[in-house]
Chains A and B, each alone.
Chain A
Amino acid sequence: MLRILRDLLRYNRGFGLGCFLLLLVAGMAALSAVSPYPPLDVYVVPPDMPPSAEFILGTTSRGQDVFWQLTLAIRNTLLFGITVAVLSRIISLTVGLLAGYLGGAVDRVLMSVNDTFIIIPLFPILVLFYFVMRDNMSWTMLAVVTASLGWSYDARLIRSMAMSLRTREFTHQAVFSGMRAPEVVLREHLPYVLPIVFSTTMNNMNWSIGLEVTLSVLGFTDINTPTIGGMIYWANQHAAMVSGIWWWVAFPVALVVCLFVGLFLLAVSMNEYIDPRSRLARTGGAG
């Protein structure tokens, strides 16, 4: 494991940069634990101060310190992404592995549903959901709904792997030695698909965080939980760009872009590592 990490850091610049960006973001999130101000208090510092030695990223029109507000916001945004990723991984692994292993009618039904979720525009559905729930919309509920909509791409990918695993020798051996379907899938196939699942997790987090940011910017989430989108929402409410309070918008946008690019670079370099053909192409071994 450590050797893989060392190799990746040495030969893959994308991986190094991705790790650096994510460490930066994680560091910010960790700092939220020592924030001197409670997350929702307003007018704790003088409003509209530009970045300075005292307030390194300035203060908002609501009298909040941008730096400390940002640490809390990125922590919640990051937690949201991780929660959605874990929940949707469970669904996509179950659907993908079962459809691939069982095949036949089960496969056809599951994949029809799966393709439907790929095609349907999810954003209007999430907006509709907020519209119906209104003030009852909580952070947890949004995570659960997003996860239950965002598993389809990975389920397809996992299914295609499970289909080829099914024809392999060790699967036959497991079946002949009396293993039942859930056991074969869990004990024999799951370890094979985990690396690719790990890499698609990053993309899934990008997707869900992007949705969350968008929904909160529009004010369609629980605005009492500070998130990156929530910060931009409040900045827009106070017309921060028009009145020249650019630091209220620029720093949240910059930080969340770091998160997106970091996650994406990690996913790409993981993929390259998993796929030996592209590794060879990189070192000039083939093609």
Chain B
Amino acid sequence: MTSYGSYLLKRLAQFVLVVFIGINVTYFITHATPIDPVEQTIAAATSFGQTSPAAIETMRESLRALYGVGGSPLDQYVTFWKRILIADFGPSLSAFPTPVSTLIARAVPWTAGLLTVATLLAWAIGNLLGGLAGYYRESRVLKAVGVIAMGLHPIPYYIIAFVLLIVFGFLWPILPITGAHDPGVERSLNLPFVLSVLKHAILPAMSLILVGIGTWFMGMRALVSNTVTEDYTVYAELAGVKRSRIMRSYVMRNAIAPQVTGLAMSLGAIFNGAIITEQVFGYPGLGTLLIAAVHAGDYSLVIGVTSVSIIAVSAAVLLVDLAYPLLDPRVRER
């Protein structure tokens, strides 16, 4: 078997394992805790008015069937997996009778779009600046960038998003702070709509990018400061290769591979950040959906969003991992 083939198989196995363990954790949390979701939903539904005992009993039966909590533990486990594999999480209780999968399908493009753009921008800018800072060590500008990156990096997404909200929402209100586009704009592929979407995405994306740049910047600067002392770099310098070329083909090219692995490893954390950012800026993605579902007590929607998040993030990690050999010939060819 070729080297890439075995690499592919290994990564696929890892993907299956991650999804398997993730979904099992979800199952365990929802089924092994002492709280009965059916009784909780009934309590929430009946707390606002009088409901006859017969109606409650009917509701209990239908909820049991819906959640798949009837039968033996093995039955429940099998039902749970079946629902996940055919992506059918039943109707949402807070937006009855819209299926959960429809609500999720509506939210995914917003999250995916925001995440892809923000992650790629943060990764590219952070690595470029970090690489430059590692190579041109004397530059005062890059040193200043380093200090800012170090200051921003440890602060959690929520605080950054919150500060941006305060600055651009209250102190200097120039950017929209809620929603994904202006409510009046027609939702089709025309210029006003696209501009409106872009304008609304600036703040959520910026909060993700600000944190992200710091991480990639510091990682890349450390990697580059190791590659510049390697023999081949010193040799290229002595041989009079142009500095820009050394920087690009000798230093950055070798330091970038670990950063791709780093990207794959941190996608989960970035996703967490996106959920929080969406919530702060009222962006209509998975995060806002998840938190609204928790507040509304919508059990099937919460399980749906959690499972889809696990599968989506693992799939994204798989994609990054599969792209890795393109950058690292040692994995591509034996």
Q: Residues on A close to B: CB < 8 A?
A: 112-113, 115-116, 118-125, 127-134, 136, 206, 209-211, 213-214, 217-218, 220, 232, 241-242, 249, 253, 256-257, 260-261, 263-265, 268, 281, 286-287
Question: Roughly how many angstroms separate A264 CA and B166 CA in the complex, as a whole number?
Answer: 25
> Are the CB atoms of A132 and B25 closer together than 8 Å?
no
Supposing A120-B313, A125-B306, A134-B35 touch, asked if A261 and B154 sit within 8 A by C-beta, the answer is: yes
The reply to whether the CB of B203 lies closer than 8 angstroms to some CB of chain A is no
> Are the CB atoms of A268 and B268 closer together than 8 Å?
no
Question: Roughly how many angstroms separate A129 CA and B302 CA in the complex, as a whole number?
Answer: 10
CB distance from B48 to the nearest CB of A (A): 17
The reply to whether the CB of B276 lies closer than 8 angstroms to some CB of chain A is yes
> Are the CB atoms of A206 and B225 closer together than 8 Å?
no
> Are the CB atoms of A132 and B33 closer together than 8 Å?
yes
CB distance from B13 to the nearest CB of A (A): 9
Enumerate 8 A-B pairs (CB-CB under 8 Å) in ascending A order: A112-B17, A119-B267, A122-B268, A127-B290, A127-B302, A213-B158, A257-B159, A264-B150
The reply to whether the CB of B199 lies closer than 8 angstroms to some CB of chain A is no
The reply to whether the CB of B100 lies closer than 8 angstroms to some CB of chain A is no
Question: Roughly how many angstroms separate A90 CA and B35 CA in the complex, as a whole number?
Answer: 29
> Are the CB atoms of A115 and B163 closer together than 8 Å?
no
Q: Chain B interface secondary structure, helix, strand, loop or mixed?
A: helix
The reply to whether the CB of B133 lies closer than 8 angstroms to some CB of chain A is no
The reply to whether the CB of B208 lies closer than 8 angstroms to some CB of chain A is no
> Are the CB atoms of A121 and B153 closer together than 8 Å?
no
Q: Which A residue sits closest to B35, measured CB to CB?
A: A132
Known: A125-B26, A217-B162, A281-B225; 15 extra A-B contacts, CB below 8 A, are A113-B21, A119-B317, A120-B268, A122-B272, A132-B33, A210-B156, A211-B156, A213-B158, A220-B294, A241-B166, A249-B162, A256-B159, A260-B154, A265-B150, A287-B228
Q: Which B residue sits closest to A129, measured CB to CB?
A: B29
CB-contact partner of A123 in B18, B154, B275, under 8 A: B275
> Are the CB atoms of B306 and A119 closer together than 8 Å?
no
**5 tightest A-B CB contacts, nearest first:** A210-B156, A264-B154, A123-B272, A124-B306, A260-B154
> Are the CB atoms of A121 and B40 closer together than 8 Å?
no
* Chain B residues numbered 9-48 whose CB sits less than 8 Å from any CB in chain A: 14, 17-18, 21-22, 25-26, 29-30, 33-35, 37, 40
Question: Roughly how many angstroms separate A220 CA and B291 CA in the complex, as a whole number?
Answer: 9
- For residue A129, which residues in chain B have a CB less than 8 angstroms away from its CB? 29
> Are the CB atoms of B156 and A260 closer together than 8 Å?
yes
CB distance from A260 to the nearest CB of B (A): 4
CB distance from B277 to the nearest CB of A (A): 11
Q: Which A residue sits closest to B265, measured CB to CB?
A: A118
Q: Which B residue sits closest to A256, measured CB to CB?
A: B159
- For residue B299, which residues in chain A have a CB less than 8 angstroms away from its CB? 131
The reply to whether the CB of B229 lies closer than 8 angstroms to some CB of chain A is yes
- For residue A116, which residues in chain B have a CB less than 8 angstroms away from its CB? 17-18, 21-22
Most chain-B CB neighbours within 10 Å: which of A129, A242, A263?
A129
* Chain B residues numbered 294-312 whose CB sits less than 8 Å from any CB in chain A: 294, 299, 302-303, 305-306, 309-310
A-B CB pair tally, cutoff 8 Å: 130
The reply to whether the CB of B258 lies closer than 8 angstroms to some CB of chain A is no
CB distance from B104 to the nearest CB of A (A): 12
Question: Roughly how many angstroms separate A211 CA and B156 CA in the complex, as a whole number?
Answer: 8
Supposing A214-B158, A220-B294 touch, asked if A287 and B17 sit within 8 A by C-beta, the answer is: no
Question: Roughly how many angstroms separate A125 CA and B268 CA in the complex, as a whole number?
Answer: 12
Supposing A116-B18, A119-B317 touch, asked if A128 and B29 sit within 8 A by C-beta, the answer is: yes
CB distance from B144 to the nearest CB of A (A): 15
> Are the CB atoms of A128 and B302 closer together than 8 Å?
yes
Most chain-A CB neighbours within 10 Å: which of B22, B159, B228, B294?
B159
* Chain B residues numbered 224-270 whose CB sits less than 8 Å from any CB in chain A: 225, 228-229, 264-265, 267-269
CB distance from A223 to the nearest CB of B (A): 14
- For residue A281, which residues in chain B have a CB less than 8 angstroms away from its CB? 225
The reply to whether the CB of B314 lies closer than 8 angstroms to some CB of chain A is yes
Question: Roughly how many angstroms separate A128 CA and B159 CA in the complex, as a whole number?
Answer: 22
> Are the CB atoms of B294 and A115 closer together than 8 Å?
no
> Are the CB atoms of A120 and B22 closer together than 8 Å?
yes
> Are the CB atoms of A214 and B317 closer together than 8 Å?
no
- For residue B264, which residues in chain A have a CB less than 8 angstroms away from its CB? 119
The reply to whether the CB of B170 lies closer than 8 angstroms to some CB of chain A is yes
- For residue A112, which residues in chain B have a CB less than 8 angstroms away from its CB? 14, 17
- For residue A260, which residues in chain B have a CB less than 8 angstroms away from its CB? 154-156, 159
> Are the CB atoms of B18 and A115 closer together than 8 Å?
yes
- For residue A121, which residues in chain B have a CB less than 8 angstroms away from its CB? 268-269, 271-272, 275, 309-310, 313
Question: Roughly how many angstroms separate A132 CA and B306 CA in the complex, as a whole number?
Answer: 13
CB-contact partner of B294 in A130, A217, A253, A286, under 8 A: A130
Most chain-B CB neighbours within 10 Å: which of A122, A128, A129?
A128
> Are the CB atoms of A128 and B26 closer together than 8 Å?
yes
> Are the CB atoms of B313 and A263 closer together than 8 Å?
no
> Are the CB atoms of B21 and A136 closer together than 8 Å?
no
> Are the CB atoms of B159 and A213 closer together than 8 Å?
yes
CB-contact partner of B229 in A210, A242, A261, A286, under 8 A: A286
